[in-house]
Structure 1
C-alpha cells in the first residue's frame, strides 16, 4: 500500500427530509446564493419550491443559473461566474446530478480567477480560492457531491476535460434518496454504470497490499449489482435508491483509491466519445468497459480478474484462471444489458469517422501508468472492438 493523506471534509446530511438543514448550512458561509440547476425536473418534484421557501424564510437572497447540460459547457461556467460577480454571490448551491455540481464547482473556482474559466479547466493549479459549494443531489452517478473533481466540455473544440482542486470539494451535501425517485430508467441505469466505472478505475491497479481498498471496492460493486436493476424496475424503492446514492459517493471520494496508484483508463476514452458525440457518460462507459477488460486481460493481469470474478460474481474459484476472468467479463457485459444500456458504439450513433483523432486525444501523453499501459493504437483497437 502507498502512503496517503486522508481528508474528506464534506459534511453529509443523508436521508429523508434532510433538506431541513439547508438554511443553517448556507448561513454558515454567507447570505447571497447562486442556485445552479439543469432542466425542469427539480420544479416538477417540488424541490425548487422547497429550496426557495427555505431561502426566503432564512432571509437569504438568491439568483439563478438554469439549463445546465448533461455534459456541462464552459459557456455555462462563464455565465455563472458573471452572475456571481454582478450579484456579490457568497455561496454556490448546486441542485441536481454530477453535471450541475461539476459546473457549480468551476463557477465557484472561477469567480476569483481573473483569466478565462477554461484556463482553470486546463490547469487547476491556477485556482487559489473558491466560493463555498453546497449541493443537493438528485441523481446517483458521478460522486461529485463528495469529491474535488469536475468535468467540463468545450464543444467548439470537441474537448471534454477533467479538472480537480481541494478547494472545489463541497462544504455540505444533502443526500435524500427520495429526490432520485423521478430519475428515468435510462438515467438510473447509466448512473449505475458510472458508479461501477469509478470503482473499476480504482480497483484495477497494480498496487500490492491494498487489501482493505480491494475488499471495500468489491462490496460497493456488489451493491450496484444488487440494487441497480431494482432501482430501474422499481424507481420508488427507497432501499435501492439509498444504497446506490451512498455507493455513488463512496466510489470516488478517495476511500478506495487512497493508498493505491495508477491512471484511469476507460474515463479518458469515454470523455472523447462525449466530446465528439455528446452521448450520456454512463452509457459510453458501459459500452467500453467490457471491451477494455478483454483487451487488457493477460498473464500479468489475470489474477486481478480472478479476484473480481470470485469475490464480486461468485464464480467458482477452482476453475481455470482465464475461464474465471472471461466469465467475469461476460457477466459484466450481461449486467449492463440487463439494465438495457446499449452495448455497441453504433447503437448510440458513433461510427469510425473520428476514431483515430479520439484515440490520440484520449492518450494525450498519459495512460502509461494505467492498469495496463495503453497507447493511442491500443485505444483505437478498443474503440473498434466496441463498434
Structure 2
C-alpha cells in the first residue's frame, strides 16, 4: 500500500494524458456517431478528477478506454508517460471499482481482497500483509473472515475498494460506485473516499451523473455532453463561473433569461434581458450586435428588495412558493412572461412568506449575473 501521508495534486507530474481520443460506434464513415469526440485532457498525479454529465455523454466510455476495456477508435492514452492505447487491462497500472461490487459470495472478505494477488502468485506472507493494510485503509479489517452476504451495501463497497487498492495502482478508476447506496450512506461514503484519497496519494478518476457528488469530492471536474468536454475547472469555477448554457443548466439550479446583444466592445456587452438593459463583462466567446445569448442567475443570488449601485433589480408577480425544509423557493413572473426563482433560507424571525399574486422586487449583484453564449 502507498504510504499514509497527506497528499495534494502534483501539477509538475501528469498521471494520464488523453490526446485526440475518439470512440466511434457504428460504421457510417460519412456521419460517425462519436461516443467520445477528439478529447484532449491532462489529469495530474494525486488528483481527484471527475467526469460529470448525463447518461450517454461518454464519461463511462472514456473511463473504460483508460482502463483498457474499450479500444479507442483513434487517439492516444498516456499513463505515467507511457503510451498504453493498445495494451490490455492487466498491463496497465490501474484498477477499477464498479457500481456492482462483483464480490465472490463463496470467498471471505480477505480472500476477495487478495484474489488478484493470488492470481499473480504473490507470496503468501506479502499477500497477507497487503490484504491487512488494504482492509485497514477502508476500516474493514474487523470483517476479514466474514462472507460478503454478512455485510451491508456500504461495507461491500469498501471491500471492493480494498480489492482495487491492494494492487497498489497508480490510478484508481471509479464508475458510479455509490449508485446502489441510499442517499445518507452515499454522502457518508463521499466524505470517506475523498479523505482516503488524500491520505493514499493515488490519482482517483471518478464518473458520476450526480452534480452534488462531483462538487463534494473533486479537485477538478470535466463536464461532458455528447462526447465533448464542455468545461474543466475546480468545483467553485464549475458552479460559479459556468462557460456555457449547458454547464450552467446542468450544475445545480439556475435561472435562465433570453438575452439579445445591443452593443459590444472589447470589455463589455450591453444586453436586453428580462425587460432591462444590462451592461455585463463580455464573455470569452465572440458575440456580435443582434446575437442571442442567455442571462444566468443562481436562485440564492436573488434577494428581496431593491439593491445598491452594483446590483440590478427585477419586478414581477409572486407565484406559489415551494417549501423544501431548509429553504423556500419563491417564483417571480416578470413582465416578459419569464420566471425567476429565488431561494430563501428558512430561519427564525424571517420575513413573512409572500402571497401568490403579490408584486415583488428582487435584486442581484452584477457580479452574480452570467452572460452565456447558447
TM-score (norm 1): 0.29
Structure whose alpha-carbon radius of gyration is higher: 2
Instruction: From the two aligned structures, give the one with the greater strand fraction.
Output: 2
The structure with the largest helix share of the pair is 1
